């Protein structure tokens, strides 16, 4: 089974960048593009896409991030500002493109890779929805990359990834696992002020574990048994 890579641009500001992203996607053999509330896509976007106008034309336009990642098994958020404190999980732990390739080798399913706004990137709430965090090592002098250049580096690394027969768990089932954990926290009187940070920690743990369907069902079974015994 294949590993499908979906590129998601969240509120891109410049149509030239969108066109350039489609071009670099075609360079490396990718075609699944989703745009969340994009700028107008007119002559400049078509000109910059060059021979990748088919990807520009077929790009799916949605109004929410939830719609953009629907059906994805893993959601990966990119950031030019990596986390520095290991106990703050919004931007940690992070991976570089080469490490991401190693993590996904042998997997099958859909991976959504999110790229944020050119001027502001992602806010913390958006990053909290991601299972993994990806960053590209750059110079401290000027760490923020052009959008299409960043997409190009990531897709270059993934262009020859070897997919396999180890299926990633469905995003819907992972959502049920997170809900189940939340219920368990209530049952054990887990401190309310720690709950959000702990749930984000679990999300990152499960994201880098690349759980398969059977593992998710087993975890939910154990949680359910704990609840019944309580």
Please tell me the predicted confidence (pLDDT) of residue 92: 58
Please tell me the predicted confidence (pLDDT) of residue 109: 92
Residue with tokens 């180890």: 166
Please tell me the predicted confidence (pLDDT) of residue 46: 94
Q: How many domains does the chain have?
A: 2
The reply to whether 13 and 74 lie within a common domain is: yes
Last residue of a domain, one of 167, 183, 217: 167
The reply to whether 184 and 84 lie within a common domain is: no
- 174: its two tokens: 């992972």
Residue with tokens 């996904």: 104
Rounded to the nearest integer, the mean pLDDT of the chain is 90
Residues in the chain with pLDDT < 70? 1, 81-92
The reply to whether 175 and 160 lie within a common domain is: no
The predicted-structure confidence for 76-102, as pLDDT tens digits, reads as follows 999 876 644 444 555 557 889 999 999
Last residue of a domain, one of 167, 191, 206: 167
For the domain that residue 39 is a member of, what is the CATH number?
A: 3.40.1280.10
What range does the domain containing 211 cover? 171-229
Last residue of a domain, one of 167, 198, 219: 167
Q: Where are the alpha helices (DSSP H) in the chain?
A: 15-27, 43-49, 53-58, 65-68, 97-104, 124-127, 147-158, 171-187, 192-209, 213-229
Rounded Cα gap, residues 18 and 80, in angstroms: 18
Under 8 Å between Cβ of 78 and 135: yes
Measured in whole angstroms, how far is the alpha carbon of residue 18 from the centre of its chain? 18
The reply to whether 137 and 43 lie within a common domain is: yes
Rounded Cα gap, residues 32 and 19, in angstroms: 14
pTM comes to 0.90
Rounded Cα gap, residues 106 and 194, in angstroms: 35
């Amino acid at each position: 089974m294949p590993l499908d890579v979906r590129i998601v641009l969240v509120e891109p500001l410049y149509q030239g960048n969108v066109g350039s992203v489609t071009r670099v996607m075609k360079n490396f053999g990718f075609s699944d593009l989703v745009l969340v509330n994009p700028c107008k896509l007119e002559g400049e976007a078509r000109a910059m896409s060059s021979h990748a106008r088919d990807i520009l034309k077929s790009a799916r336009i949605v109004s929410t991030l939830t719609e953009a990642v629907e059906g994805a098994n893993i959601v990966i958020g990119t950031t030019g500002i990596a986390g520095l404190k290991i106990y703050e999980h919004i931007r940690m732990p992070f991976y570089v493109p080469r490490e991401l390739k190693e993590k996904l080798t042998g997997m099958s399913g859909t991976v959504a890779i999110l790229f944020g706004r050119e001027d502001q990137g992602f806010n913390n709430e958006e990053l909290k929805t991601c299972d993994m965090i990806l960053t590209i090592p750059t110079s401290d002098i000027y760490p923020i990359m052009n959008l299409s250049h960043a997409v190009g580096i990531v897709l270059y690394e993934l262009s020859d990834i070897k997919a396999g027969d180890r299926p990633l768990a469905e995003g819907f089932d992972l959502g049920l696992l997170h809900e189940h954990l939340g219920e368990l926290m209530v049952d054990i009187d887990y401190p309310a002020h720690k709950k959000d940070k702990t749930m984000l920690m679990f999300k990152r743990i499960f994201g880098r574990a690349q759980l398969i369907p059977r593992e998710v069902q087993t975890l939910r079974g154990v949680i359910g048994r704990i609840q019944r015994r309580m």
